[in-house]
Chain A
Amino acid sequence: MAEFEKANSIGEWFDQRLNVKAFTKVMMTEYWIPKEINFLWAMGALLVMLFKLLIITGIFLLMYYKPDVNMAFDSVNYTIMQEVGYGWLFRNIHGVGASVVFLIIYIHMFTAIYYGSYKKGREMIWLSGMLLFVLFSAEGFSGYMLPWGQMSYWAAYVITEIFGGIPFIGGDLVIWIRGNFYVADATLTRFFMLHVLLIPVVLIGAIAFHFYTLRFPHVNNEEGEFFDYKKESEKYLAGDKANSKVIAFWPDFLSKDFMVIAIFMVFFFYLVFYNNGFAMDPVNFDKADGMKTPAHIYPEWYFLWSYEVLRGFFFEIGGVSGKDLGLMAFGFAQGIFLVLPWLDRSPMVKPANQRPVFKYWFWLLMADLFVLTIFGKLPPTGINAYVGFFASTTFLGLFISLPFLTTIESKIVGGK
């Protein structure tokens, strides 16, 4: 056993046993972040805050929710919303939080794309981040099923039905996923398990991993600059903070994070109290009815771009049915973001506005995603269907052309 001398304070007692001082230095006071950053760099911490809110409110919802097709709807809309003390508040925070978290995820993700924070050593940060996106999507999808309203049921039905499109095993796979021929109690309880236990546990692990991946490549900065962290941190520790290019995670970086989070919370709680229809869709206040599809059916806003790609192909091309084309495009759309670091063949790590070709690609992608999102909500009739088709093909085209465009770009800038 190691030799332990008598400690002179409680802090020293813990430090002897847990090496608290060194841990604090490594994780907080000497974890170096670039100074050249803007408030968009706070989105990560904001996501942690939202995730924390979702877990805490989730815990209280879990006390009263009944995962049974006969009791789920009333356990939410009567017990939780109208009987439990502040139950309505926890439910609103949870529902709005689940929707807003995707807004921040998208801002966070597109910040990374804009500033090139996915390449030149940062590929694992990007991959772990995309894994988080997939996990949050699964968490959102499974959570939406739980209130067992009309949207819950039909979203579950349509999305599980998609797997039927997989050749050979499709039909059996759908039944296996649902636990029944149709979306039934078995489906609800297994997605309850996923939502409440399995996915949150995996999420926590993935978040920890995502934080870990940031350390060695270092967090990116506004100019994409690679500089000498040792030199800059020495400047900082010597007292010359103003001239150092780095700041400490605590208290410098976190103080700005807290400020952004606190300001955002005002907006967030305004939504929670006064404007939550976008997150708690009225259609979901009708009990699930397997015999009646609602007149207007649509996923939550953050899935709309994906949904529009799926239904963007509504006629046969080259012998392949619209349905299959849509499925293939949908599959492509889910995976293509993952390989972005390898599609971008230009070694430039610079914000998009300083990249001659990429800047057009980026804003075209944004515009395309906006069109896909809005038209994903509109009824796909008449000209809307054609706009959807055009936007979906543009999406595919953008990603297919990216390697070529970025190769051209690297030639223009002379391999900088």
Chain B
Amino acid sequence: MINESRRGFMGKAFGAVAAVGAVASLVAMKKSWDPLPSVMAAGFTTVDLSKFTGNKLEIVKWQGKPIFILKMAADMPAVEKRSVKVGDHYYSVMIGLCTHLGCIPAYRDTTHDFKCACHGGEFSAAGVHKFGPPPRPLDIPPFTIKDGNTIVLGEAGAEYKALIASLSTDINIA
């Protein structure tokens, strides 16, 4: 009944211009959903390592996640490609979430390793997986070493970049 060709072009043109506006509105709506600037700015945690003792696990929060910082005691050797040297000591700096399904493993200071209660996974003091379902070592968060005994989690420093570059998935030591 309605002559398509006559109103067709103008109608489609109008529809197209309206669609441009609709898309722009969707972009604005997407931006409203973005994490707030204050949230993004707060993604840094500064940790003072000077009071840490060997073989005692310290947990700090970074971006809502638990971060394991474990100072290597005299009888705990540093592990190449895993341990971080800050000042005169070596540390493990890792995200404390089991790489299997995300539970927080517990540290056993007698055996110098981590045991995950959920499905029995085990990690060495350097965070390398050695038993059970976990598929890979504990992840290392971005960090940077600041003058002396401080690290800032969330900022990717030179040491972190070097670590990541050298990491390979077939690391598997007891």
Check whether chain A touches chain B (CB < 8 angstroms): yes
Name A residues whose Cβ lies closer than 8 Å to a Cβ of B.
Answer: 29, 56, 60, 63, 79, 83-87, 89-90, 237, 251, 258
Give min CB distance, B100 to chain A, whole Å: 34
A83-B37, A83-B38, A237-B1 known; A251 vs B32 contact (CB < 8 Å): no
Q: Is the CB of A87 within 8 A of B32?
A: yes
Within B17-37, the residues touching A (CB, 8 Å) are 28-29, 31-34, 36-37
Q: Which of A29, A85, A251 contacts B28 (CB 8 A)?
A: A85
- Contact flags B70-87 to A (C-beta < 8 A → 1, else 0): 000000000000000000
- Docked complex: B28-53 residues within 8 A CB-CB of A: 28-29, 31-34, 36-38
B2 at the interface (CB under 8 A from A): yes
Chain A residue numbers with a CB within 8 Å of B11 are: 251
Please state if A86 and B36 are interface contacts (CB–CB under 8 Å). Answer: no
Asked if residues A84 and B1 are in contact (CB atoms below 8 Å), the reply is no
Q: Which residue of A lies closest to B38 (CB)?
A: A83
Residue of A nearest to B28 (CB): A86
CA of A222 to CA of B60, assembled, Å = 74
B7 at the interface (CB under 8 A from A): yes
How far does the alpha carbon of A251 sit from the alpha carbon of B7 in the complex, in Å? 9
- CB proximity of A145 to chain B, nearest CB, Å: 23
Complex Cα–Cα for A79 and B1 (A): 53
Identify whether the interface residues of B are mostly helix, strand, loop, or mixed. helix
Q: Complex formed: what's the CA distance from A86 to B34 in Å?
A: 10
Using A83-B38, A251-B7, A251-B11 as known contacts, say yes or no to A63 and B2 having CB atoms under 8 A apart.
no
Min C-beta distance of A191 to chain B, whole Å: 24
Complex Cα–Cα for A56 and B11 (A): 25
Within 8 A of A (CB), among B43-70: none
Which residue of A is nearest B27, CB measured?
A86
B15 CB to nearest A CB, Å: 10
Which chain B residues (121-153) contact chain A, with CB distance < 8 Å?
none
Could you tell me the distance between the alpha carbons of A145 and B164 in the complex, rounded to whole angstroms? 53
29 cross-chain CB contacts under 8 A: A29-B1, A29-B2, A56-B29, A60-B29, A60-B32, A63-B32, A63-B33, A79-B36, A83-B36, A83-B37, A83-B38, A84-B32, A84-B36, A85-B28, A85-B31, A85-B32, A85-B33, A85-B34, A86-B28, A86-B29, A86-B31, A86-B32, A87-B32, A89-B28, A90-B28, A251-B2, A251-B7, A251-B11, A258-B14
Docked complex Cα distance between A55 and B32 (Å):
15
Q: How far is the CA of A186 from the CA of B166 in the complex (A)?
A: 59
Complex Cα–Cα for A1 and B34 (A): 49
Separation in Å of the A272 CB from the closest CB of chain B?
Answer: 13
| The residue from B14, B32, B36, B38 contacting A90, defined by CB atoms under 8 A apart | B32
CB distance from A234 to the nearest CB of B (A): 12
A26 CB to nearest chain B CB (Å): 15
Shortest CB distance A32–B (Å) = 14
CB B72 to nearest CB in A, in angstroms, measures 42
Q: How far is A29 from B28 in the complex, measured between Cα atoms in Å? A: 34
Query: Which of A84, A90, A237 is most buried by chain B, counting CB atoms within 10 A of its CB?
Result: A84
Which of chain B's residues have a CB closer than 8 A to the CB of A85? 28, 31-34
Kindly provide the distance from the CB of B11 to the nearest chain A CB, expressed in whole angstroms: 7
With the chains together, A212 CA to B34 CA distance in Å? 40
| Residues on the B chain within 8 Å of A251, using CB | 2, 7, 11
In whole angstroms, what is the CA distance A251 to B8 when docked?
11
Determine how close the nearest CB of chain B comes to the CB of A283; give it in whole angstroms.
27
Measured CA separation A89–B33 after assembly (Å) = 14
- Quick one: closest A residue to B7, CB to CB? A251
B1: chain A residues within 8 A (beta carbon):
29, 237
- The smallest C-beta distance from A49 to any residue of chain B, in angstroms, reads 12
Query: Which A residues touch B36, using CB under 8 A?
Result: 79, 83-84
* Residues in A neighbouring B38, C-beta threshold 8 A: 83
Cβ–Cβ < 8 Å partners of B29 in chain A: 56, 60, 86
A85 to B14, CA, bound (A): 29
Chain B residues within an 8 Å CB radius of A237: 1
The CA-CA distance from A59 to B111 in the complex, in Å, is 54
Which of B1, B7, B11, B33 has the most chain A CB atoms inside 10 A of its CB? Answer: B1
User: How long is the Cα–Cα vector from A87 to B38 in the complex, in angstroms?
Assistant: 14
User: What's the least CB distance linking B106 to chain A, in Å?
Assistant: 37
> Residue on B with the closest CB to A252?
B2
Distance in angstroms between the alpha carbons of A197 and B14 in the assembled complex: 34
| A86→B36 CA distance, assembly (Å) | 11
- In chain A, what residue has the closest Cβ to B25? A56
Of all chain A residues, the one with the shortest Cβ separation from B10 is A255
Closest A residue by C-beta to B2: A251
Q: What's the nearest-Cβ distance from chain B to residue A159, in Å?
A: 32
Q: Give the CA-CA distance A237 to B31 in the complex, in Å.
A: 48
- Contacting residues, chain B, for A79 (C-beta < 8 A): 36
In the complex, what distance in Å separates the CA atom of A86 from the CA atom of B24? 12
Shortest beta-carbon distance, A188 to chain B, in Å? 23
**Which residue of chain A lies nearest to B17 when distances are taken between CB atoms in the complex?**
A262
Closest CB of chain B to A321's CB: distance in Å? 51
